[in-house]
């Protein structure tokens, strides 16, 4: 059993209203450490056994098709033990 993690973030040049809202809320709550905040998505995909190279290719394709919109988002695929 392995967990494939797909992290999806908006590209830096794309406006991120969720991140802006969080960044504006932090100082209102007394937290002053943040210069800026970006919010993205995180998917944990459970698969049987360790992923084969062919499966990793499929997962890449699924990430680009369903999980992320490559026009405005970047994604990173990693394998957790």
13, 35, 53, 71: which one contacts a copy of itself (CB under 8 A)?
A: 35
Any bridge partners for residue 75, and if so which?
8
13, 15, 17, 46: which one contacts a copy of itself (CB under 8 A)?
A: 46
User: What would the DSSP string read from start to end of 57-71?
Assistant: HHHHHHIIIII--TT
Residue 63 or 71: the one with the smaller Cβ distance to a copy of itself is 63
Read off the tokens for 38: 């970006």
Q: How far is the CB of 74 from a copy of itself (least distance, A)?
A: 12
20, 26, 73, 74: which one contacts a copy of itself (CB under 8 A)?
A: 26
Measuring CA to CA, which residue among 38, 39, 41, 36 is closest to residue 75?
Answer: 41
């Amino acid at each position: 059993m392995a967990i494939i993690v797909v992290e999806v973030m908006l590209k830096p040049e794309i406006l991120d209203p969720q991140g802006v809202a969080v960044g504006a809320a932090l100082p209102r709550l007394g937290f002053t450490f943040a210069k800026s905040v970006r919010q993205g998505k995180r998917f944990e995909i459970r698969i049987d056994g360790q992923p084969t190279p062919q499966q990793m290719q499929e997962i890449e394709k699924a990430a680009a098709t369903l999980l992320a919109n490559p026009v405005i988002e970047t994604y990173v695929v990693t394998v957790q033990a």
